[in-house]
Structure 1
């Protein structure tokens, strides 16, 4: 099988280290009103904390593939390929995560830790060593409804499908499920975010179901 080079993803902009601030800022804007982050950072949404979390996570992850519609990053998708190393606690703190303690407080850190443990447990039931992980997909509010989610997702899913691999994600917003189903994902498990009544959907994309 001839593999498509990672540099060729349907004209998408591929993230470099210099892009991380723009990618993190897009994420912080996009998640206003998102139930999970209202829970983690209650009683009020904290865009600075969200930007810190995703900026530090991007800086310390090894093998992370970040793509956007253009260099301006109005739509962003972050993927961890099989074998890639996601953010560790030490790496997260060393790359700016320590600021989270100041901007969000210990309560948020505890809720975030509980949530991450829950995610790992669910993810372990539905992934294997040949599964990609969609770490984040977001679109700036003023750009939503223009098909940008599909624009940044489809070339990467094609890249994954060419290798006969799978992709896994989670979402905490029921209205997102239809979007992901349109892209070929199926709900593998539905649960609840610990300490809340927020739904947690685990979804899987199989190359054979394209």
Structure 2
């Protein structure tokens, strides 16, 4: 544990709180700002987006973890286990209505980002960290570290590598402290921001 932070696997009843935490965590994210530049609309959209992703894809893979201190959720992570990072057609169909409501006419930008990431996703089996975020109100208190260490211990025990895309250049050094290295850059077409591809081999 990190400073009294409890990390555990999320259940369906955790999704609303998880979505709110991630929505606040990614409010100022460059990719999310490009996808929905209007602040009030982005604030409404992001919890719906993360709720749909967690509920209709990540929970089934068993890779959703939340971090709490004294019962209050401060961070969450959405992981895909090896071989499961691609959403099934059924999952995409279940998510689509919520995403369309959340993003409206900006849905096309969301789809373009998703397709870009899919085209450049590594083929080697790995754990995929799709989303990691802590509530801005408790940022720096160790919630992200606790979530990372909890999952990376399992990855190392399995001898499995990990992959992520950092959507903020300022977060690259943070991930490097956990053993990730930059392997490439993805720039979203049409004037979009850059994402940094990062890979971590298993320790030991």
Q: TM-score range by the shorter chain?
A: 0.7 to 0.9
Off by >6 Å, runs of 4+ in structure 1: none
**TM-score, structure 1 as length reference:** 0.84
TM-score for both structures, normalised by structure 2: 0.87
Contact 1:57 1:92 in 2 (8 A): no
**Superposed CA offset, 1:163-192 (max 9, x none):** 111110001210000110011100010131
* Offset at residue 33 of structure 1 (A): 1.3
Unaligned runs of 5+ in 2: none
Deviation string for 1:88-137 (max 9, x for gaps)? Answer: 45434435x4143234322x1111111111001111xx341x20100110
Q: Does 1:78 align with 2:78?
A: yes
Provide the rounded CA distance (Å) in 1 between the counterparts of 2:61 and 2:86.
8
1:60-79 matched pairs, under 5 angstroms: 60-61=56-57, 62-70=60-68, 72-79=72-79
Give the Cα–Cα distance (whole angstroms) in 2 for the partners of residues 85 and 192 of structure 1. 21
Q: For this pair of structures, how many residues does the alignment match?
A: 195
**SS of 1:69's equivalent?**
strand
* Superposed CA RMSD: 2.0
The unaligned stretches of length 5 or more in structure 1 are: 1-9
Q: How does 1:1-210 map to 2 (within 5 A)?
A: 11-44=6-39, 46-61=42-57, 62-70=60-68, 72-84=72-84, 86-88=86-88, 90-95=90-95, 97-106=96-105, 108-123=106-121, 126-128=122-124, 130-208=125-203
